[in-house]
Amino acid sequence: MSNYNLEKRRYVIAFVATAIVVVYIVRLFTLQLLSDDYKKNADSNAFLKKIEYPSRGAIYDRNGRLLVYNQPAYDIMVVMNEAKGRIDTLEFCHALGITKEFFIKRMNDIKDYSKNPGYSRFTQQLFMSQLPSEEFSFFQEKIFRFPGFYVQQRSIRQYQSKVGAHILGDVAEVSPYDIEEDSYYQPGDYIGKLGVEKSYEKQLRGEKGVQILLRDARGRIQGKYMDGKYDRKPIAGKDLTLAIDEKLQALGERLMEGKIGSIVALDPRTGEVLCMVSAPSYDPRIMVGRARAKNHRALAKDAWKPLLNRSIMGMYPPGSTFKTSQALTYMTEGIITPGTAFPCNHGFYYRGLHVGCHSHAAPIALVDAISTSCNSYFCWGLYYMIGNRSKYKTPYNAMNTWRDYMVSMGFGYKLGIDLPGEKRGMIPNADYYDRNYRGSWNGLTIISISIGQGEVTLTPLQIANLGATIANRGYYYRPHVVRKVQGEPLDTMYTHRHYTMASRRAYDYVVAGMRSSALKGTCKALSRLPFEACGKTGTAQNHGRDHSVFMGFAPMNNPKIAIAVYVENGGWGADFGVPIGGLMMEQYLTGKLSPAAEAQADAMQARRIGYGPRFSQK
């Protein structure tokens, strides 16, 4: 090809460029001047995207009692472009019951990009949120006098009773972080912040709908755009049915008044959480609407930390309730047999080490050791297990075998309950001791873990779950507070059995021990109950007064409830833990309290433990 030919190619390229521009101009011509669709809505017609909010799912307890529902509230919206200079400010403030200063400040805040990043003078901006119906009805009569102001119907959460704040959680306006995380949210939307409101947010919230409306130059709605072709209807949120028994929860919260601690009750047959009390609690009804921010701040300042859900976030030494897990481990591993007896002379004395014990007959075997909660027995057990070189070769292996048993019982890791913020507790392993004792440790060094002290910590939920594994004689289901999501099958992770490493035979002896404890041992207060209860007390040592702990289940055969009670600084397990646990089991299994029990409950409700002031006097 000659050079001349190549030079001609400039015309080809120029032609292509011209052709593209001509085609585009023709397209512009048809879009802007010929097309009828757009012409009709030309000039200053604009679209108004009206969000239609779905109703949030309601929450019921296990017996179908309504716990949380929605109540209409009204957001006052403003379109700046329309409101500007056209309303009587004084009259407006009067109608809404606000001051002129508030009005001016609010209007300035709306226009401030740093406070309201999505601001546009052509779209609705939130002026005031969550006006209750009473206040709104007064305003509504006058709204025609305030051009540019609109009403957006929303719903706010209402709580039927004051119980279950930690489980139910609450909703609040989305934070900028939430919006960034999930583009579903827009400023002003609500999102679950705690409890099941948070963990089941996706199911509860439903799906927003949108209507695309046409407006004329004066902002009047002219109708739907393309007859609603692009509209979407809102889809209502799904209702939740909790596993919680409202009456049991209410009793638990009543018994824990003035105390710090937790009660967790599980249905061992399903892993359902029957009640989850964290004390001190608060009334969920104060976390609603415009008062939420103020009340939330007050609770956050409270020295007793009522916002903390101690049932899953509190990591406590389990004390003697832990001995059951030790008995299971030693027996399954063959360290002890049911007949093995260890001496106890007011405690465990060995090579200068002393772990104290109360006075009881000695030496004793497994069932009695559980029944009387003998420290010495379990210390000897751990000592022989860690020191058993013929079986494990090294204390390192023995320790890790021990750890594996503990983990199989649901300790040391999160159980995976469907509530936010669960803690995993602490189960030490051999590496942990190697680090902390520079490799120089043996069964004696770590002896206190055998009685649920030392490095071991559990959440009350994990203690209750220990009760469930014993009740089931060897397995548990992942605990969950939501029993059913409307229209969805239960997640299979809640129907899968987790087996522990302990043998069935070991469980039978531990159950016998716990039953013996309820009849004549540390829990003998349970013997009055009209069903066969099994229990184990705990008296967990700590820096202050001992914590009072109880773990139990009932009835012994065919158990329906497993329970953990933890009262901080309550002293002996038998002092607070056992009576509370007994009342709770009675309430759940018989559906009511006997008159005598009712009197006992009143007395327990009135008891106070001196924890010091709740609010600092700064």
Partner 1 sequence: MINDKPQSIWSQVDWLTIGLYIALMLFGWLSICGASYSFGDNDLFSLDTRSGMQILWIGTSICLGFVILMMDSRFFDTFSFIIYGVLLLLLFATIFNPHDIKGSHSWLVIGPLRLQPAEFGKFATALALAKLMSTYGYNIQRWKDFAAACAVVLVPMLCIVGQRETGSALVYLTFFLMFYREGMPGSILFTGVAMVLYFVVGIKYEGIMLFDTPTSVGKFVVLLLVQLFVAGMVYNYVHNRKHTNTIIGYSLVLTTIAILFDVYVIPFDVTWVQLGMCLALFLYLLYHGLRTRLPQYFFILAFAVGSVVFFYSADYVLNNVMEPHQRVRINVLLGLDEDLAGAGYNVHQSEIAIGSGGLKGKGFLNGTQTKLKFVPEQDTDFIFCTVGEEEGFIGSAGVLLLFLVLILRLLALAERQPFAFGRIYGYCVASVFLFHVFINVGMVLGLTPVIGIPLPFFSYGGSSLWGFTILLFIFLSIDAKRNMLKA
Beta-carbon contacts of 514 under 8 Å, excluding residues fewer than 6 positions away, are 324, 370, 470, 523, 534, 535, 536, 552, 553
On whether the CB atoms of residues 417 and 479 are closer than 8 A, the answer is yes
SS3 490: coil
Interface pick for partner 1 out of 71, 99, 122, 393 (rule CB under 8 A): 122
DSSP labels for 317-377? --GGGGHHHHHHHHHHTTS--TT--B--SSEEEETTEEEE-----SSB-HHHHHHHT-HHH
- Min CB(92)–partner 1 separation in Å: 20
**If binding is defined by CB under 8 A, does position 361 make contact with partner 1?**
no
On whether the CB atoms of residues 243 and 272 are closer than 8 A, the answer is yes
**If binding is defined by CB under 8 A, does position 16 make contact with partner 1?**
yes
- Min CB(218)–partner 1 separation in Å: 12
- Min CB(113)–partner 1 separation in Å: 7
Nearest to 221 by CA among 77, 46, 51, 78: 46
**If binding is defined by CB under 8 A, does position 177 make contact with partner 1?**
no
The partner residues of 262 in beta bridges, in order of sequence, read 278, 566
**If binding is defined by CB under 8 A, does position 41 make contact with partner 1?**
yes
**If binding is defined by CB under 8 A, does position 235 make contact with partner 1?**
no
What span, in angstroms and rounded, lies between the C-alpha atoms of 357 and 370? Answer: 13
Pick 118 or 591: Cβ nearer partner 1: 118
β pairing state of 240-242 and 59-60: parallel
- Min CB(17)–partner 1 separation in Å: 5
**If binding is defined by CB under 8 A, does position 596 make contact with partner 1?**
no
**If binding is defined by CB under 8 A, does position 21 make contact with partner 1?**
yes
**If binding is defined by CB under 8 A, does position 7 make contact with partner 1?**
yes
Q: What is the arrangement of strands in the sheet containing 46-52, beginning at the earlier edge strand?
A: 46-52, 209-215, 221-224
**If binding is defined by CB under 8 A, does position 186 make contact with partner 1?**
no
- Min CB(121)–partner 1 separation in Å: 4
**If binding is defined by CB under 8 A, does position 47 make contact with partner 1?**
yes
Interface pick for partner 1 out of 4, 33, 134, 612 (rule CB under 8 A): 33
Total chain residues near partner 1 (CB under 8 A) = 45
**If binding is defined by CB under 8 A, does position 99 make contact with partner 1?**
no
Site residues (CB under 8 A) for partner 1, limited to 77-96: 80
Helices vs strands, H then E, count in the chain? 23, 20
What span, in angstroms and rounded, lies between the C-alpha atoms of 281 and 123? Answer: 42
SS3 274: strand
**If binding is defined by CB under 8 A, does position 38 make contact with partner 1?**
yes
Pick 29 or 138: Cβ nearer partner 1: 29
**If binding is defined by CB under 8 A, does position 141 make contact with partner 1?**
no
183: exposed, middle or buried (Cβ count in 10 Å: 0-12, 13-18, 19+) = exposed
The residue type at 399? M
Stretch that binds partner 1, among 4-12, 346-354, 484-492, 605-613 (CB under 8 A): 4-12
- Min CB(219)–partner 1 separation in Å: 11
Interface pick for partner 1 out of 28, 104, 298, 603 (rule CB under 8 A): 28
- Min CB(356)–partner 1 separation in Å: 57
Q: From the CB of residue 512, how many other CB atoms can be counted at a distance below 10 Å?
A: 17
**If binding is defined by CB under 8 A, does position 222 make contact with partner 1?**
no
β pairing state of 209-215 and 46-52: antiparallel
**If binding is defined by CB under 8 A, does position 423 make contact with partner 1?**
no
Stretch that binds partner 1, among 23-31, 194-202, 306-314, 603-611 (CB under 8 A): 23-31
The partner residues of 480 in beta bridges, in order of sequence, read 272
- Min CB(35)–partner 1 separation in Å: 6
**If binding is defined by CB under 8 A, does position 105 make contact with partner 1?**
no
Stretch that binds partner 1, among 120-128, 342-350, 408-416, 500-508 (CB under 8 A): 120-128
On whether the CB atoms of residues 279 and 257 are closer than 8 A, the answer is yes
Pick 209 or 387: Cβ nearer partner 1: 209
SS3 297: helix
**If binding is defined by CB under 8 A, does position 42 make contact with partner 1?**
yes
DSSP label of 239:
P
Pick 229 or 504: Cβ nearer partner 1: 229
**If binding is defined by CB under 8 A, does position 29 make contact with partner 1?**
yes
On whether the CB atoms of residues 215 and 194 are closer than 8 A, the answer is no
**If binding is defined by CB under 8 A, does position 437 make contact with partner 1?**
no
**If binding is defined by CB under 8 A, does position 46 make contact with partner 1?**
yes
**If binding is defined by CB under 8 A, does position 43 make contact with partner 1?**
yes
**If binding is defined by CB under 8 A, does position 499 make contact with partner 1?**
no
Beta-carbon contacts of 453 under 8 Å, excluding residues fewer than 6 positions away, are 317, 319, 540, 541
Residues at the contact surface with partner 1, assessed by CB under 8 A: 1, 6-7, 9-10, 12-14, 16-18, 20-21, 23-25, 27-29, 31-33, 35, 37-39, 41-49, 80, 111, 113, 119-123, 230, 232
